[in-house]
């Protein structure tokens, strides 16, 4: 959020700046990034720090180094985010969008819980559950189709959960924690891959009669409050060609 201190390492700030420019399309494929020397001067950092920032961008597949020429921007779809990553981003910034992303096709309804959803939420199959859907896009197309499954009892506290509009005032988890006074304490994440079904293809706006044959990434996230209630189960279906990545610091 505005006003929060940025505690990232200098190389990470530089890399994040150019990631935003690349993924938003402000730096187009084939563009050259400043040299290590120029980056060092522009950002007031050592050449080692500047080189580390460029290495991070290379490792993420956003750029490549060309001997004798420089660092070139590549044209590739950005990785998808898991539900947990989007929740973390929403808590930090107030938005679940990644760089260059937007969401649309927001749809909400109270529906009978499918068996797998009921099991994840700890409720009886066919019990009422709120299903919230949206599509995340960037300039390459669909990043992911995201579905949040929420026990219907929370809709009585927060009516907007069942309204087909983008939520205001926070993420679904923030709104639930505020309304109940019970904080979200932990989550369980999974990552897998599967071949698209006809239903998957339709959600990703593909031809359900002729879906792509390559597997896509499927991420799930189960959010649990401090009283051990499962308050939300999220399923993110990646678009064809989208990967998933996570980054964490390694202590020495």
pTM score of the predicted model: 0.76
CATH number of the domain located at residue range(s) 10-73 in this protein: 1.10.10.10
Integer Cα distance of 92 and 84 in angstroms: 12
231 with 133: CB under 8 angstroms?
no
Average pLDDT on 151-157 reads 96
pLDDT in tens, 210-230: 888 889 999 999 999 999 999
Q: Under CATH, which number does the domain 83-238 receive?
A: 3.40.1410.10
Residue 196, sorted as left (phi over 0), alpha (psi -120 to 50) or beta, turns out to be beta
Residue burial 1-32, b: 16+ Cβ < 10 Å; e: rest:
eeeeeeeeeebbebbbebbebbbeeebeeeee
Q: How confident is the model at residue 3 (pLDDT cuts 50, 70, 90)?
A: very low
| Domain parsing of the chain, residue ranges | 10-73, 83-238
pLDDT of residue 2: 43
| Residues 178-200 pLDDT 10s | 999 999 999 999 999 999 999 99
Question: What are the pLDDT digits (tens) for 24-68?
Answer: 788 988 999 999 999 999 999 999 999 999 999 988 778 999 988
């Amino acid at each position: 959020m505005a006003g929060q201190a940025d505690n990232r390492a200098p190389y990470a700030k530089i890399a994040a700046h150019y990631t935003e420019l690349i993924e938003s399309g402000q730096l187009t494929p084939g563009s050259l990034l400043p040299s290590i020397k120029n980056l060092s001067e522009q950002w007031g950092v050592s050449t080692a720090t500047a080189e580390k920032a460029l290495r991070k961008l290379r490792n993420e597949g956003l750029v490549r180094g060309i001997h004798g020429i420089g660092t070139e921007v590549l044209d590739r779809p950005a990785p998808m985010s898991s539900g947990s990553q989007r929740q973390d981003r929403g808590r930090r910034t107030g938005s679940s969008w990644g760089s260059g992303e937007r969401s649309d096709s927001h749809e909400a309804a109270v529906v009978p819980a499918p068996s797998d959803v009921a099991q994840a939420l700890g409720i009886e199959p066919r019990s009422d559950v709120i299903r919230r859907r949206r599509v995340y896009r960037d300039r390459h197309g669909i990043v992911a189709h995201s579905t949040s499954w929420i026990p219907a009892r929370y809709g009585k506290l927060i009516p907007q959960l069942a309204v087909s509009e983008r939520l205001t005032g926070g993420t679904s988890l923030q709104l639930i924690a505020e309304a109940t006074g019970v904080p979200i304490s932990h989550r369980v994440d999974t990552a897998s891959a599967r071949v698209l079904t006809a239903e998957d293809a339709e959600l990703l706006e593909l031809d359900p009669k002729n879906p792509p044959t390559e597997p896509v990434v499927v991420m799930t996230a189960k959010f649990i409050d401090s009283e051990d209630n499962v308050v939300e189960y999220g399923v993110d279906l990646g678009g064809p060609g989208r990967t998933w990545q996570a980054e964490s610091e390694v202590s020495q």
